[in-house]
Structure 1
Amino acid sequence: MFTFIIKRLLLLIPVFLAVSLIIFMIVHLVPGDPLEHLMQVGSSPEQQAALSAKYGLAKPILVQYLIWLQNTLSGNFGDAIILRRPVADLIAQNMPYSLALGGLALAFSTLVGIGAGALAAIFKNSWLDRSVMLIILLGSTVPSFWLGLLMILLFAVQLGWFPVSGARSASALVLPALTIGLGGVALVARVTRAAMIDISRKDFVLMLHAKGVSRANIQLRHVLRHALLPVLTILSLRIGWILGGAVTVEFVFARPGLGSLLITSLNQRDYPVVQGCLLMLAIAVMLGTLLGDVLQAALDPRVRERAT
């Protein structure tokens, strides 16, 4: 198992380098100049050149990337051009809000998704199964930003149950967490249902039926337990995607977090902050993938054997 983890960690190195290069190049290809927000009206070309040299924007783009990569590997993400603060401090200040939102959304999508998928599988081809799958289909097709606006209109403006925006209380987490989590519910429920239906056809399940074990006991104690392997893999992959999906939701609900910081920095063309935020989101996806591989290998020895 230790060898498997080491191999997976080594595979992340070229992935990280490729992702960092793509992020750097895409950010620098975005039209606009971040120095426009710093230069005063009527600034001379000499002043513009001095500012460009100060932030390293006058060097060739490949040289800029190598300098940024070297600093990033040492934990230095550079300084924000507009806010004039270390990017690492801005990320550390906003990361807890994104983690709290993502963690609550992941917990919601896990519990509700597994429960809905199990019900649909146990009552396969019934009206309950069709109803659950219809709701799941609707939940997976509705854009998160549009769903967030609907929730604000209904639960915050009309009913007044939750705050419209901000992060001043725990109740302000409910609507954005539901907005992000509903998309995950659809995915987890579909995977749970498909896995349970597949496991139900196995020989050991038929043997349990022949021994007279109750259907509920078989489905909940045996089929669901074996079906959790692909569900755990999907959930580990969702860790990174939930943080990425929080970008638009945080902006819709005017919450602090990596999403709001990223969108604000994009509007200001603040390259160091955008690069730092995108890199953190990419690392979250990579770590989620690594966690999924490790969990799958820990639960299924065949995965470890294929990797050796």
Structure 2
Amino acid sequence: MLAFTLKRLLLLLPVFFVVSLVVFLIIHLVPGDPIDNLLRPGASPAQRLQIAAKYGLDRGLAEQYFVWMGRLLTGDLGTSIVQGRPVSALIAQNLPYSLQLGAAALLFSALVGIVAGVVAASFQGTRLDDGITGVILLGSTVPSFFLGLLLILVFAVWLGWVPISGARGWSSLILPVLATGLGGIALVARVTRIAMVETARQDFVMLLHAKGLSPLVIQLRHVLRHAMVPVVTILSLRIGWILGGTVTVEYVFARPGLGSLLIRALNQRDYPLVQGCLLMLAMAVILGTLMGDVVQAAMDPRQREARS
């Protein structure tokens, strides 16, 4: 198992370099630059050149990338051009809010999604199964930012049950968690249902029925345990996608976090800050994938042998 984990870690190194290159090129190919936010009206071209030289923006893209990469390998994400603070400090200040929202949304989508999938699989072919499947399909098609706006309108504006925005107290987490996690519920429930239906057709399940075990015991103790392998993989992938999904949700609910920081940096064309935020989100997806592979291999040795 240790050799498998080390091998997967080594495979992430080229992925990391490719991701860093893509992140760097994306922000530098977008029209505009951060100098426009630093210059006063009527500034001369000489002042523009002076600021560009100060932040290394007068160099070629290749040279800028290698300079940034060299600093990155030493743990230095650079300094925000507009705010004048280290990027690592800004990320460390905002990341806990995103992790709090992401962890709550992941737990919410996992628990509700697995329960919905188990119920749908247990009552396969009934109206209850059709109703859950319909809700799952509806939940997977509604964008999180649009859902967030609807939740604000109903529960914050009309009913006044929860705060509209901010991050003060646990009540301010309710609507963002719902907006972020409902899409995950649909995905987890669909995977759980399919995996349980396929597992229920295996020969060992027929043998358990022949032994006289209760259908409920068979479903919960045996079928669900075997069906959890693809579910765990999906949940691991959701770690990165939920952090990415909080970008729009945080902006809609005016919450501090990595998403709000990224959108503000994009509007200001703050290259180092945008690169740092995007790299953090990309690494979350990569580490989530790694975690999914390791957990799946630990649960099913056949997967470990197939990928060795």
Q: Does TM-score exceed 0.5, indicating one fold?
A: yes
| TM-superposed deviation, 1:291 | 0.1
| TM-superposed deviation, 1:42 | 1.9
The equivalent residue for 1:244 is 244
Taking structure 2 as the reference length, the TM-score comes to: 0.99
Query: How many angstroms apart in 2 are the aligned matches of 1:3 and 1:105?
Result: 33
- SS of the residue corresponding to residue 254 of structure 1 reads coil
The equivalent residue for 1:178 is 178
Query: How many angstroms apart in 1 are the aligned matches of 2:306 and 2:221?
Result: 29
Query: How many angstroms apart in 2 are the aligned matches of 1:297 and 1:221?
Result: 20
| TM-superposed deviation, 1:303 | 1.6
1:156-195 mapped onto 2 (5 Å cutoff): 156-195=156-195
| TM-superposed deviation, 1:72 | 1.1
1:97-112 mapped onto 2 (5 Å cutoff): 97-112=97-112
- SS of the residue corresponding to residue 59 of structure 2 reads coil
1:19-168 mapped onto 2 (5 Å cutoff): 19-168=19-168
Q: Deviation per CA, 1:23-67: give whole Å up to 9, x if none.
A: 101100000121011111222222111100110100110000001
What is the letter of the counterpart of residue 294 of structure 1? Answer: V
1:227-242 mapped onto 2 (5 Å cutoff): 227-242=227-242
What is the letter of the counterpart of residue 119 of structure 1? Answer: V
> Structure 1 unaligned runs (5+)?
none
Query: How many angstroms apart in 2 are the aligned matches of 1:241 and 1:255?
Result: 18
Asked if residue 276 in structure 1 is aligned to residue 282 in structure 2, the reply is: no
Query: How many angstroms apart in 2 are the aligned matches of 1:263 and 1:131?
Result: 38
The equivalent residue for 1:304 is 304
Query: How many angstroms apart in 2 are the aligned matches of 1:213 and 1:33?
Result: 68
Runs of 4+ displaced beyond 4 Å: none
| TM-superposed deviation, 1:300 | 1.0
- SS of the residue corresponding to residue 41 of structure 1 reads coil
Aligned length: 308
Q: Deviation per CA, 1:90-127: give whole Å up to 9, x if none.
A: 00000000000000000000000000000000000100
What is the letter of the counterpart of residue 180 of structure 1? Answer: T
| TM-superposed deviation, 1:307 | 2.5
Query: How many angstroms apart in 1 are the aligned matches of 2:197 and 2:96?
Result: 39
Query: How many angstroms apart in 1 are the aligned matches of 2:89 and 2:159?
Result: 38
| TM-superposed deviation, 1:295 | 0.5
What is the letter of the counterpart of residue 273 of structure 2? Answer: V
- SS of the residue corresponding to residue 263 of structure 2 reads helix
Query: How many angstroms apart in 2 are the aligned matches of 1:152 and 1:198?
Result: 39
1:194-213 mapped onto 2 (5 Å cutoff): 194-213=194-213
Q: Deviation per CA, 1:242-300: give whole Å up to 9, x if none.
A: 00000000000000000000001101111111000000000000000000000011111
What is the letter of the counterpart of residue 167 of structure 1? Answer: A
The equivalent residue for 1:226 is 226
| TM-superposed deviation, 1:302 | 1.2
The equivalent residue for 1:9 is 9
- SS of the residue corresponding to residue 169 of structure 1 reads coil
Query: How many angstroms apart in 2 are the aligned matches of 1:137 and 1:261?
Result: 32
Query: How many angstroms apart in 2 are the aligned matches of 1:33 and 1:24?
Result: 14
Query: How many angstroms apart in 2 are the aligned matches of 1:304 and 1:222?
Result: 21
The equivalent residue for 2:264 is 264
Q: Identity percentage over the alignment?
A: 65
Query: How many angstroms apart in 1 are the aligned matches of 2:170 and 2:53?
Result: 45
- SS of the residue corresponding to residue 161 of structure 1 reads coil
| TM-superposed deviation, 1:225 | 1.0
The equivalent residue for 1:215 is 215
What is the letter of the counterpart of residue 87 of structure 2? Answer: V
Taking structure 1 as the reference length, the TM-score comes to: 0.99
Query: How many angstroms apart in 2 are the aligned matches of 1:208 and 1:307?
Result: 31
The equivalent residue for 1:292 is 292
What is the alpha-carbon root mean square deviation over aligned residues? 0.7
- SS of the residue corresponding to residue 56 of structure 1 reads coil
Query: How many angstroms apart in 2 are the aligned matches of 1:128 and 1:196?
Result: 16
